[in-house]
Structure 1
Amino acid sequence: MKSNKLVSKIFIYILLIAVTITMIFPFLWMLSSSIKFDRDIFIFPIQWIPDQPVWSNFIDIWTRIPLATFIYNTAKITLIVTLLQLTTSSFAAYAFSKLEFKGRNLLFVAYIATIAVPWQAYMVPQFIMMRSLGLNNTHLAIILLQAFSAFGVFMMRQFYQGIPDSLIEAARMDGMNDYQIYYRIMLPLSKPALSTLTIFTFVNTWNDFLGPLLYLTRDELKTIQIGLRMFITQYSAEYGLIMAASVVVLIPVLVVFLSLQRHFVQGVAAIGVKG
């Protein structure tokens, strides 16, 4: 029995190592390619550390395109959208999980059902609506469209349902209204779920390409994902610069994920158990 357990454990470790290598390989290739000439990127076998590293790629990306402006625009939209989604999702989730009102379950099911509808199915009517409101070519259009998240409401509601109703009733008996309960009790207890939603929202908004592509046409308003396309010309692509810019763009995502990693794991586990 012990030998069988040992063999199975070794097999699991080998499988996990193989999966890890498969997942991390593209990132290592990106780092390696960011300090190479274009002609050396696709050479096989791969030369992971070039003989002559092209560190100038990390300088050229700031001068070839307005990268600083693109990063500022992306950070601005991402931070605002993340804060709005955290507020709207947690607030709505509290109502759906702890307040009793007519049609609550029906309204929740109808709202969550929108997750099944792909954005491509209604992006044209949405674009026409934003244009009729005069919000085309503005950051406000993207912010308003992403300020509410059915997925965020669903996830926060699953977490809130794990909080005992007796705790809410005790707070009401102490004279607290629903706003005070939400702010003083629900939010402090929901840090793991809020951290999880923060990571999901931050990454999705930071990496959004199609939304800014539809609504933003002026260079001073574009985001970094659109800016990366500027390294692709009509006849060729400057892959070294693309990889160097991708490395720079990846840093904020890594910082957010690593800083919230502990809460993220707790949030996923808690939502899975309580849901």
Structure 2
Amino acid sequence: MTTVSDAAQVRAAQPGGGPGRSVRDSLVVAQRNLIRMKRIPEMAIFALVQPIMFVVLFTYVFGGSIALPGAPAGGVQPYREFLMAGVFAQTVTFATAGAGAGIADDMHRGLIDRFRSLPMSRGAVLTGRTLADLVQTALTMVVLAAVALLIGWRGHESIGKVLGGFGLLLLLGYAFSWIGALIGLSVRTPEAATSGGLLWLFPMTFVSNAFVPVTGMPSFLQHIAEWNPFSATVQAARQLFGNTLEGVPASVTGAWPMEHPVLASALWSVLIIAVFRTLAVRRYRSATA
């Protein structure tokens, strides 16, 4: 008994257990995924193509036709200011589908089972994967911001507020990546994970204030759009970038998230992480049990 107790005490005293071990394991898994992304550069290239296409199409094809309240008819620059926060937010959230597909692919190839056989924290596999996706999304945002500057978009607030806006966007992307992780663990193939991810992302991003003001929507959609977590982050980014327009009201229904978008965005993201990380880790344990 004494020998067993001493051995247990030695293990407890070693620095490898507890939160410290979970953090180290997560960083190792994140490094593994980042190395994989580096060796497959086309993944990053394809991730950039879609948001750049949205910027060009909405700015030069639709921008002159979308009327903003209080803006001159056919004015592209006001719409540019209005649009970019929505495109940034769409970019970080659409990365969710890729995150889910990556986890589903790891499950399909048996990599998750090999991780499970190692003496590592259970949640570290998913945490490392989502952290790696966050790094890739951040790099994508840097390139997309450069493209936005080239077409004439500008931030009109201090550098601290502008960085805060990008921080909230990345926080939302990280939160949604846990939804993608749960979907990836719940389906059998990467193709199903991609389809399942886009199935809910399209209505969430388009029933929002990202691309058009909610004033033109039916009344019931206005309420949905203004309580949408995606809309709160878009409005927060516009506010922090200094891209709000005088003719476009913050809220048409009096929704609290639109009146306090920065706080609402942070609360929504933290809540989504807390709920879906718990569900994803639980699903991971049962899927590999």
User: Do they fold alike, i.e. is TM over 0.5?
Assistant: no
Q: TM-score, normalised by structure 2?
A: 0.35
For the pair shown, the structure with the greater C-alpha radius of gyration is: 1
> RCO (CA 8 Å, sep 6+): is it higher in 1 or 2?
1
